[in-house]
Amino acid sequence: MNREPIPRLPVFGWQSFDGARASSTPCLLSLPGLHYSTSGRAAILLALETLGVGPGDTVLLPSYHCPTMVAPAANLGARVAFYPLDEHGTPQLHWLQQQDLTGVRVLLAAHFFGLPQPMARIRAWCNERRIALIEDCAHALFGRSGDRPIGTWGDVAIASLTKFLPVPEGGCLVVNRGLALPARVPALAACGLGPQLRAAMDIIEVGAVQGRLTGFNGLISGSLGLLRYLRSGGSRFVDTLGGTAEIPAPAAPLSSAERAIDSALAHRRLSAASRWLGRVMPRERIVARRRQHYERLARGLSGHTGLRPLRPHLPADCAPYVFPLWVDQPDPGYVDLRRRMPVFRWDRMWPEVPSLPGDHGRRWSHHVLQLACHQDMSDADIDNFVAALVDLYNL
């Protein structure tokens, strides 16, 4: 059944267990050195701690980012500095090497949208300067860059589970190169009974509310809904998925919550239900359906004026997180579109991002819309999405 609104993130249901367990495209969750965390941003914090980053150190970050990529370094007291990106989202290394790199300890590079970046070049650049590399795979749980799986290039790699699996929380870090984790990482605080139950309930409730648990939808959504109403009222996860959560205005300054990181949560173990799904959920379907949706979006959104696919050709050996769409004039239509459709824009920049020569990242923050293309959307969802975008933006 096709329900409105289209879910922004994957949804648990019987379909989650279709297809082959292993994917032909490498998955970060199969790598040695894997540690689960409560989120991608928690994993960045743990990665920085693993690398021993603190006050006096500088962390280099891309000009195109969301605040969750920056907050961990800033909250550890490190200086954050931003580097420009070329038209493919690759760090402009020639610009970086003209800068004073004194105090730079870490460079974070991201596989934006789930499309692999040329990591060999970035790795070599970091090696030459003894700068540690955090490979941000939050958008890229699957893939290969050059001859190696994604997640094996960084000294540490991080990922975000909620973007690929139907879980309310979850991330992971992969520690490569024989680095020792600081004592506290393996000894993350236990996940108490409350968060364990909430996570399990969230997973099942979203599936039932979205009609994906045929035979049990009414029973589950009714009884869990009643339970929540009697106890605390509402699941943030269900709201976020449906797109009813509050959206800050692009021009509004970052709130203290957006700049902060919950250190206790970041040092807590991931709930068993989310870890279990990370282990057992079949992976091939995730890769195959995301690739099909990406290609369908590319076909539907090509050949118009006022909008164009940023990367029309999907590289082999990856599973996209979103489809990046360039829009000439995204406003004022975007805010209303965001309410109706599973679209995101990284317009919440960290305050100190400078205007850098030849940088594409800052322009993307305004013009690039990230369109969901996850495995639990249907072909009809994709077609409705295309129709809404063309209707709004085709000049």
Ligand X SMILES: Cc1ncc(COP(=O)(O)O)c(C=O)c1O
Binding ligand X (rule: CB under 6 A), the pick from 8, 35, 41, 267 is 41
Residue 171, interface with ligand X (CB under 6 A)?
yes
Q: Which tokens go with 37?
A: 């965390």
Shortest separation between residue 270's beta carbon and ligand X, angstroms: 11
Residue 283, interface with ligand X (CB under 6 A)?
no
The piece of 66-74, 114-122, 245-253, 376-384 that touches ligand X (CB under 6 A) is: 66-74
Binding ligand X (rule: CB under 6 A), the pick from 15, 92, 160, 274 is 160
- CB nearer ligand X, residue 39 or residue 176: 39
Number of residues in contact with ligand X, rule: CB under 6 A?
A: 13
The piece of 33-41, 75-83, 98-106, 325-333 that touches ligand X (CB under 6 A) is: 33-41
The piece of 25-33, 36-44, 113-121, 211-219 that touches ligand X (CB under 6 A) is: 36-44
Residue 68, interface with ligand X (CB under 6 A)?
yes
Residue 89's nearest CA partner among 120, 118, 132, 55 is: 118
User: Which residue's Cβ lies closest to ligand X?
Assistant: 40
CA distance 134 to 153: 9
The interaxial angle of helices 333-340 and 379-393, nearest 10 deg, is 170
Computed on alpha carbons and rounded to an integer, the radius of gyration of the chain in Å comes to 20
Residue 39, interface with ligand X (CB under 6 A)?
yes
Residue 162, interface with ligand X (CB under 6 A)?
yes
Shortest separation between residue 71's beta carbon and ligand X, angstroms: 9
Quote the Cα angle for 273-3-114, to 5°.
55
Contacts 24+ apart (CB under 8 A), 27-32: 27/141, 27/142, 27/283, 28/137, 28/140, 28/141, 28/142, 28/149, 28/150, 28/151, 28/157, 28/159, 28/172, 28/174, 29/141, 29/159, 29/172, 29/278, 29/279, 31/149, 31/151, 31/152, 31/157, 31/174
CA distance 328 to 221: 41
Binding ligand X (rule: CB under 6 A), the pick from 7, 13, 26, 40 is 40
Shortest separation between residue 150's beta carbon and ligand X, angstroms: 13
The residue ranges that bind ligand X (CB under 6 A) are: 39-41, 66, 68-69, 110, 136, 138-139, 160, 162, 171
